[in-house]
Structure 1
Amino acid sequence: MSIQLGFTEDDLRDAAGPASFSRGEDYAGAVSGLDIGDGTIRATVPGRETYRVELVVAGRAGVAGACDCPYGADGHFCKHCVAVGLAALRQTVSAAPEPSAVAVPAPRPAVARPDREDLLAPWLESLDRDALLALLVEESAADPGLRDRLLLRAEVARAERPAVRDRVKRLLDAGALARGGYVDPEEAGAYARDVTQAVTVLRALIAADRAAEAVDGARWALWRLGEVYELAGGAEDLWDLFPPVQDLVAVHLRACRAARPDPEPTARWLVGHLLGPVGEVTGADPVDYRDVLGPAGLTRALDLATEAWRREPGGKAKRLREQLLRAQGDVDALIAAYATDLAPNGATHLRIARELDEAGRAGDALEWAERGLRAAGGRHDVDHDLVEWTCARYVRAGRLDDALTVRRGLFRAQGSLQSYRSLRSAARACGCWEDEREAALELLELLRAHASRGGVVPGLGHPARTLVDVLLDEGEVDAAWEAAAGHADDRQLLTLADRMRDHRPADALGVYLRLLEPLKQSTGDQAYDEVTRLLRSIRACHERLGTAEEFSHRLSALRAEFKRRPKLMKLLDENGL
């Protein structure tokens, strides 16, 4: 009996792609700390640094993985994930017992293990000072990255303030990043690593009880990054910088909480930063600074944001003012700010409703939501979330008729399949679906006729195709087929053909043949898969019609036409075509 992991080498190759799989094979022998758990595999793999890898068996999807290397951090199944997967497969093969005629008892159910992270902190707390020092020396010797971080902390703890300041400035000097007055996107990754190192320096300052220096250093760094951002002319060339910049904001907040700087200048800095070039991409939220600013600081920040908003209504200043009102906890003032610029589709009304609901004022919240629906009237672009939020509140209060009224109005405004389904659910809850269904179908018929005469109904898209989708959703295939004439798109025609193949094979055959024709000009795996699928369906129609010989002639002609496409020929052979 062999041990089963739930994935194979082919699964690893599919997840990583041929290039990363090939590179991962070279690293498989270097995997260390392999820990195979119930559906999860963890290990480390050396590279420029020592990277941590976690694989998760994903059932039919094979295997998923996460690695903290730069390529893995972007969501890719990297070579380190491949290496760990291969190492796990090889270990399970080597651990498998020799074949035996003796019956092997069924394996015992896996015992749930406590989370490994939950074990770590209590164990570290149980060690005395000497044991902790010995552990750090041992681990830093085995992990160059950890050793470098500890050395950096030691250097920063002993360095004078000017030396630390100069080090941060050298790291954030744009240097190679900016050439000829613009930012070179190819250098952004290297610069991001320098920003990360600057963050490490600032964390070391906090650990050394020099949080005030870390506050100043973080503010200078964010100002410098604002210059880089403006030089780049936007965010599209600086994606690599976003995570370390957000780390920089986080370390600034942590330093502020440790150093407790004067609230007034902190308020001025925070407003200036959030209204500056990188404010909107750093993830800073005034609510997080509530304990640092205190009531006086929050008031000062709100005054500054209000002045900026009055000079230039809308944009960053408007959002910042709303954030600061939320931080102050003044719900009525926040609602008054929202109410100065209500979106016509009801989206702002929903924001107000949610703020009131969170404040425990459910009645006021529902009233604002209802005002939003009335303001949107029969607009086809009424805010979807507003409709859902309001109907959910009606259902919760037992006001099913009110929910049905909203759903009916939305269907009349949009005439979409989704609004039809929502209307059906609401009407069934009220026990009146048959009447509603008849009226809804009549409306779609009228809209289809209006559109066929050249009439335009804003926001309703293609009423004839919506009618086809609705009839299919209702299971009325023959009626959908009649409605589809001259209106349905290829997706709908294929669905119709599949669903009427058994009882209307001639009509289905006509659809399949029509859809096959343009595919003859296409190449590639996706096109070949679709050709094969259609040919199987065409064969089924001919068998149902008793014209199997005609299909044989058709298939022979097609194979002769495409004999120079070996991948397609192989696929047809595999499917018995």
Structure 2
Amino acid sequence: MDGLTEAKLRVLAGERSFERGLGYVDAVSGVEVGDGWVRASVRGTERYEVELRLGGRGRPAGTCDCPYGQEGNFCKHLVALGLTVIAQEADLPRQRESARDRARGLDTWLSGLSREELLTLVRDEIAEDRQLRRRLELRAASARGDLAGIRPRIRELLDVGPFAQYGYVDYPDARAYADQAVQAVSAIRSLTAVGRASAAMALAREAIGLLAGVVESVDDSDGWLGQIGADLADAHHDACRAARPDPEELASWLVAHALDDAADLTDIDPLDYEELLGEQGLIALRRYATEAWTANRTGWAEKHLMQRLAKSGRDIDTVIAVHAADLAPNGHTHLLIARELDAAARPAEALEWAERGICETEDLATVDTALVGHLTDRYTKAGRLTDAVTLRRGHFAASRTLLTYQQLRAAARAAACWPPERENALDLLRADAGRVFVDALLDDKDVDATWQAAGEYGAHDGQWLTLADLSRPTRPADALAVYHRLAARLTRETGNHAYEQLVSLLVSIRDCHRHLGTPDDFTTYVSELRTTQKRKRNLVRLMDEYGL
């Protein structure tokens, strides 16, 4: 199987299952090879059926009916089959071709049977295989357009009861349930094909509701039910195209479906039915959507549908009305409205809504920062630089972070008033006596002020390191003291990441000694360090690479 390696098996199974799988290689038998899959039996406590396959992205996956495998795990039996496949890799093309030969041989044999012989064969098989019989019964009912025979069978096919333990379908059984549910989709499509499109449309809607009702009870990690939901949506659309239902009725169902939980399963877009709805249906669609939104103006589904329909009709005022009916307290909705108005070339109204968003946010510390950025950008483009600074100043005062400090600095520099703004901003941060004050000074690259602030208010190791890096050319002795302290801590740690950090510090320490004119002191320091750390071979090797 292409792309399969012991390393991949070890990752998939985990160390314990991989090691246990090594002991089961000789228990693998009955290997069958197909395109992208290998099946076999593995003798364990019992005989287990195992299938190994490549996923859509080339990632090996598999199933096994042992208890551990049924929980969705890549078990030791799968490891054993995988190792067998790797060992037989050179023979896989021959085995695949052999499987194709068997399939061709079966097809040739079946093609040579007479009608009576084929009927006898099928009757014998359905007499022994109940599931095959039921599948063929459903296909026969579909071909006849027998709605009374199909409806109860579809209900059975979408019933999770036979697969659920304690009311839930676990991962190992989800594929089997999905395979069964696919038959329901096929039956619905068959009804359309035999001229019973109206019945197919009704059954598709019923099946969508049934599937939506059980989806939360199924472990759909592989997305099988999502695909079935999409297939049911396609079957419904095809049936509608053939049946040409009443536009008013279709519009009513589309709106009801869009507001139902089943919408997430099918992803049906009412506007995909625009041709079938016609002008009358589209008017009804918008009427029903408006009625639903009017009854629940804060409902997400109602708002989304209204906005979708309004945008399709270029009705910007309705889009704004939907947003305005449920304004977020942090100005986010005001920003959405402003962007819609900007896109509609209505800049004055857009600016008004953005400013309202700032004014109506009670605490600027909680404001949507994108709104502040949007309004600042508009002020700047309009040449209102003082207003931009005022906005950034207010946001910084409410939320004193390094980011809001940087944003205030950018606005104030554009307005040529940064020095006085900086003093006021630093006064606020100094009053907080927090590390943002140190961050701001570092960001300004005010080295001397940062040393004073770090000593007075404290700093974390990352700040000290940044300060030392900035200070090496002008205050090498101070920087050296920081590097020595940080290096001392790292000498007590192990691991390549710690070694890389330590070597980086040693390079900086060497640079400090170069500025101080004391290279001999560095040589002595490194020599002592090599002696105390000599057992850390990766560290010593890394020091050698950097000439330390």
Looking at structure 1, the residues matched to 58 and 334 of structure 2 have their Cα atoms a distance apart, in angstroms, of: 42
Q: What are the Cα deviations for residues 476-496 of structure 1, in whole angstroms up to 9, with x where unaligned?
A: 233333333343322222222
CA contact (8 A) 1:249 1:283 kept: no
Looking at structure 2, the residues matched to 512 and 408 of structure 1 have their Cα atoms a distance apart, in angstroms, of: 37
CA contact (8 A) 1:176 1:187 kept: no
CA contact (8 A) 1:181 1:231 kept: yes
Map of 1:411-450 to 2, 5 A cutoff?
A: 411-429=396-414, 432-433=415-416, 435=417, 437-450=418-431
Partner amino acid, structure 2, of 1:258: R
CA contact (8 A) 1:301 1:324 kept: no
Sort the Cα spacing of 1:204 and 1:338 in 2 relative to 1 into closer, same or farther, 3 A.
same
Q: Of 236, 259, 263, which residue of structure 2 is paired with 1:279?
A: 263
Aligned counterpart, 1:251:
234
Looking at structure 2, the residues matched to 525 and 199 of structure 1 have their Cα atoms a distance apart, in angstroms, of: 56
Sort the Cα spacing of 1:318 and 1:497 in 2 relative to 1 into closer, same or farther, 3 A.
same
Q: What are the Cα deviations for residues 522-569 of structure 1, in whole angstroms up to 9, with x where unaligned?
A: 443323322222222223323433444444444444444444444334
CA contact (8 A) 1:219 1:252 kept: no
Map of 1:70-109 to 2, 5 A cutoff?
A: 71=59
Map of 1:448-467 to 2, 5 A cutoff?
A: 448-452=429-433, 462=434, 464-465=435-436, 467=437
The structure that has the greater radius of gyration is 2
User: Within the alignment, does 1:180 sit opposite 2:151 as a pair?
Assistant: no
Aligned counterpart, 1:19:
8
Aligned counterpart, 1:222:
208
TM-score after normalising by structure 2: 0.62
- Name the SS of the counterpart of 1:344 in structure 2: coil
User: Within the alignment, does 1:299 sit opposite 2:283 as a pair?
Assistant: no
- Name the SS of the counterpart of 1:376 in structure 2: coil
- Name the SS of the counterpart of 1:488 in structure 2: coil
Sort the Cα spacing of 1:360 and 1:554 in 2 relative to 1 into closer, same or farther, 3 A.
same
The share of aligned pairs that are identical, in percent, is: 42
User: Within the alignment, does 1:270 sit opposite 2:254 as a pair?
Assistant: yes
Q: What are the Cα deviations for residues 304-346 of structure 1, in whole angstroms up to 9, with x where unaligned?
A: 5237527xx5454455455555556544344333323322221
CA contact (8 A) 1:222 1:248 kept: no
Q: Of 428, 435, 444, which residue of structure 2 is paired with 1:474?
A: 444
Aligned counterpart, 1:391:
376
User: Within the alignment, does 1:534 sit opposite 2:523 as a pair?
Assistant: no
Q: Of 223, 246, 269, which residue of structure 2 is paired with 1:240?
A: 223
CA contact (8 A) 2:161 2:167 kept: no
Looking at structure 2, the residues matched to 397 and 257 of structure 1 have their Cα atoms a distance apart, in angstroms, of: 53
- Name the SS of the counterpart of 1:406 in structure 2: helix
Q: What are the Cα deviations for residues 182-215 of structure 1, in whole angstroms up to 9, with x where unaligned?
A: 2424555776787789879988998999876765
| Alignment length (residue pairs) | 429
Aligned counterpart, 2:336:
351
Looking at structure 2, the residues matched to 532 and 169 of structure 1 have their Cα atoms a distance apart, in angstroms, of: 68
Q: Of 454, 457, 460, which residue of structure 2 is paired with 1:484?
A: 454
CA contact (8 A) 2:476 2:516 kept: yes
Give the drift of 1:47. Answer: 2.4
Give the drift of 1:369. Answer: 1.4
Q: What are the Cα deviations for residues 261-320 of structure 1, in whole angstroms up to 9, with x where unaligned?
A: 43344344334434433435655555555555533331353255237527xx54544554
CA contact (8 A) 1:189 1:240 kept: no
CA contact (8 A) 2:395 2:404 kept: yes
Looking at structure 2, the residues matched to 520 and 19 of structure 1 have their Cα atoms a distance apart, in angstroms, of: 36
Map of 1:30-41 to 2, 5 A cutoff?
A: none
- Name the SS of the counterpart of 1:449 in structure 2: helix
Looking at structure 2, the residues matched to 442 and 383 of structure 1 have their Cα atoms a distance apart, in angstroms, of: 26
Give the drift of 1:22. Answer: 11
Looking at structure 1, the residues matched to 475 and 337 of structure 2 have their Cα atoms a distance apart, in angstroms, of: 54
Aligned counterpart, 2:464:
493
Partner amino acid, structure 1, of 2:544: D
Give the drift of 1:380. Answer: 1.7
Q: What are the Cα deviations for residues 47-81 of structure 1, in whole angstroms up to 9, with x where unaligned?
A: 249xxxxxxxxxxxxxxxxx9437499xxxxxxxx
Q: Of 17, 42, 57, which residue of structure 2 is paired with 1:69?
A: 57
Which blocks of at least 5 consecutive residues in structure 1 are unaligned? 1-11, 24-44, 50-66, 74-140, 142-154, 453-461
CA contact (8 A) 2:226 2:265 kept: no
Looking at structure 2, the residues matched to 205 and 69 of structure 1 have their Cα atoms a distance apart, in angstroms, of: 35
Aligned counterpart, 1:514:
485
Which blocks of at least 5 consecutive residues in structure 2 are unaligned? 13-33, 39-54, 62-103, 105-138
Q: Of 364, 367, 374, which residue of structure 1 is paired with 2:352?
A: 367
Sort the Cα spacing of 1:422 and 1:269 in 2 relative to 1 into closer, same or farther, 3 A.
same
Sort the Cα spacing of 1:438 and 1:307 in 2 relative to 1 into closer, same or farther, 3 A.
closer
TM-score after normalising by structure 1: 0.60
Aligned counterpart, 1:309:
296
RMSD: 4.7
